Structure 1
Amino acid sequence: MSIPVDLADLPKALAGFGRGYLLTSSEGRVKAVSVRVSAVDDTLRVAAPGRGSVANVGVNPAVTLLFSPPEPGGLTLLVDGTGAVQGDDVVLTPSSAILHKAVG
Structure 2
Amino acid sequence: MSIKVEPDDLPRVLGDFDAGYLLTVDPVGSPARVKVVSVRPSLADGRLVITRPGRGSIANARANPAVTVVWPPREPGGMSLIVDGSAECEGEDLRVTPASGVLHKPA
Please classify the TM superposition score into its range, dividing by the shorter chain length: over 0.9
**Structure 1 match to 2:17:** 17
The offset of 1:26, in angstroms, is 1.5
CA-based RMSD of the aligned residues comes to 0.6
Show structure 2 runs of 5+ residues with no match. Answer: none
> Secondary structure of the residue that 1:73 maps to in structure 2?
coil
**Aligned position for 2:101:** 97
Q: Take 1:98 and 1:77, find their aligned partners in 2: how far apart are those partners?
A: 6
Residue 61 (structure 2) pairs with residue 83 (structure 1):
no
Give the alignment of 1:20-99 within 5 angstroms: 20-27=20-27, 28-99=32-103
Indicate the SS of the match to 2:98. Answer: strand
Give the letter aligned to residue 7 of structure 1: P
Q: TM-score, length-normalised on structure 2?
A: 0.94
CA distance in 2, matches of 1:7, 1:92: 11
User: Whole-Å Cα distance in 2 between the matches of residues 39 and 7 of structure 1?
Assistant: 11
Note the C-alpha offset of 1:30.
0.2
Per-residue deviation, 1:23:
0.2
Equivalent residue, structure 2, for 1:7: 7
User: Once superposed, which parts of structure 1, at least 4 consecutive aligned residues long, lie more than 4 Å away?
Assistant: none
AA aligned to 1:14 is: L
Question: 1:48 is aligned with what amino acid?
Answer: R
List alignment gaps of at least 5 residues for structure 1.
none
How many correspondences in the alignment?
Answer: 103
Q: Percentage identity across aligned positions? A: 51
